[in-house]
Homo-oligomer: A and B are copies of this chain.
């Protein structure tokens, strides 16, 4: 079977879509054709929104979260407890926690986890920025008033990264915690995998 290609410009556009996460060959072509079907102004706006997002977005100098200002609105807020830092893998995790509207601390975005398999070393994520930040906090607050919640994902890499960071933080004497593992709310014991169940038993809470 010969592989038939479309016009060069459509091939280029489909190729660009394929580099996006979760986009396969067929979807990429469907997207390219959808662009062709767009009215001229809509395609222009789409094209412009890509450049604009790149141009307007920078990283907050405190927490590294994406922001259009030097300091993001969370770090700039006076209502937030600056001594409570929740460390997450990426900006989407910040929004996941912000959605519950209960967390009153601030964040620190790592942009990934340590993963030797993918060649991601500790230097390639925002760990030294976190250490510098905790170090600076310790000069204005007592260490026992500071808490770092390690909220990396419950994966092998997420766990390893949390372990790595907790070891770096231990000399400061600040409190370091990890999100609880357990059965998700609304979940079913019968369908919970063994590792989760084991962690749920391990982390059981005393009621009386």
User: What residues on B are CB-neighbors of A55 within 8 Å?
Assistant: 9
In contact, A9 and B67 (Cβ under 8 angstroms): no
- By the criterion CB–CB under 8 Å, are A6 and B91 in contact? yes
Q: Are A1 and B99 within 8 A (Cβ)? A: yes
Question: Which chain B positions have C-beta within 8 A of A50?
Answer: 13, 16, 35, 43, 46-47, 50
Q: Which residues of B contact A20 (CB under 8 A)?
A: 30-31, 34-35
Given contacts A22-B27, A27-B22, A92-B29, are A52 and B13 in contact (CB under 8 A)?
Answer: yes
How distant is the Cα of A13 from the Cα of B56 in the complex, in angstroms?
Answer: 12
Q: Is B95 a contact partner of A6 (Cβ separation < 8 A)? A: yes
With a cutoff of 8 Å between Cβ atoms, the chain B residues found around residue A16 in the complex are 45-46, 49-50
Cβ of A25 to closest chain B Cβ, rounded Å: 12
A118 within 8 A of B: no
* Chain B residues positioned under 8 Å from A38 (CB to CB): 19, 54
Cβ-closest chain B residue relative to A56: B9
Q: A2-B99, A68-B7 are in contact. Are A31 and B21 (CB under 8 A)?
A: yes
Which of A7, A33, A98 counts the most B-chain CB atoms under 10 A from its CB? A7
Q: A47–B16 Cα gap in the complex (Å)?
A: 9
Q: Flag if B9 contacts A35 (CB, 8 Å).
A: no
